[in-house]
Amino acid sequence: MLIKLAFQHMMLMCDALAELSPKHLRLCISMLGQFRQQVDMNTALTASESLFWGVSDVIQVKWHKAEYEVVNSAL
């Protein structure tokens, strides 16, 4: 019961990944890794597939934004 409730909160947190600091993004990734190891197949698959894709997208956007800022400041 508590795992399902915590996972629902984690899914809400993943809706606002772009707003997280790098430290909190790392914590989010760590928590998703823990949920991925759950016996409940629905929770494990959702954490592995859906939520990690969202995290990956946010990291790529932040990475490209940082690269753009470095190049822009060099010009």
Confidence category of residue 28, pLDDT binned at 50, 70, 90: confident
Q: Cβ atoms within 10 A of the Cβ of 12, count?
A: 9
* pLDDT score of 71 more than 60: no
> Model's pTM, two decimal places?
0.65
Amino acid at 39: V
- Token pair of 38, please? 């759950």
- How many structural domains does the chain have? 1
Confidence category of residue 67, pLDDT binned at 50, 70, 90: low
Domain containing 33: what range? Answer: 2-13+20-74
